[in-house]
Amino acid sequence: MTKTPAPRYPAELACDIFTREGIELHLRPIRPDDAGPLVEFHRSLSPRSVYRRFFFVHPTLSPTEVDRFTGVDYVHRLALVVEHDDLLIAVGRYEGIPGSTDAEVAFVVTDQQQHHGIATVLLEHLAQAARQRGITTFVASTLAENREMLDIFAHSGFAVTTSVEEGIVSVRFPIGSAADV
């Protein structure tokens, strides 16, 4: 039986970023060995932040979820983490939608680090990486009450369109193509 080779880790996506206040953070692609830090990151989120991300009360990640969230192919499924003092403080990801050049995008930032521009930087880096991998459009779903997330999309510089159904806002915006990079 032939074993599928592990996907190539895109170290070139790693870089230092800064909050609006000038605090230096490190952004990099997620790795399988981030399982423990990801579990701790999720535990550190308030119930409200978890609900806004998953749309239901979800205090702990299952082992299957941890494997799925940390085991990405770095092309169709990519996750970026932001670290400060060796702790995960934010995670952003996209997942390609089969048969299209669209991908669903999502991110979450620890409660203490929200409102410092981290999610905006994550979105920019995810869009750039996605364009380089042939993704042309991001889609997302968020709760209508999550004004902060909706503001990030609205002020992203992308041409965002939205629709609302039963308290869920569906967001869609082109991020360009690989030729635009």
Question: What is the per-residue pLDDT for 52?
Answer: 66
pLDDT of residue 39 exceeding 80, the answer is: yes
Question: What is the per-residue pLDDT for 179?
Answer: 46
Q: Residue 134 CA to chain centroid, in angstroms?
A: 17
Q: Are 161 and 128 in contact (CB under 8 A)?
A: no
Q: Are 66 and 122 in contact (CB under 8 A)?
A: no
| Full set of structural domains in the chain with CATH | 12-133 (3.40.630.30)
- Residue-wise pLDDT for 40-65, tens only, equals 988 888 877 766 676 655 667 788 88
Percentage of residues of the chain with pLDDT beyond 90: 62
Reported as a pLDDT band with limits 50, 70 and 90, residue 178 is: very low
DSSP for residue 64: H
Question: What is the per-residue pLDDT for 113?
Answer: 85
**CA angle at 81 for the pair 78 and 87, rounded to the nearest 5°:** 155
Reported as a pLDDT band with limits 50, 70 and 90, residue 181 is: very low
Question: What is the per-residue pLDDT for 104?
Answer: 95
Please report the sign of the dihedral spanned by the C-alpha atoms of residue 31, residue 32, residue 34, residue 35: positive
Q: What is the mean pLDDT of residues 80-100?
A: 95
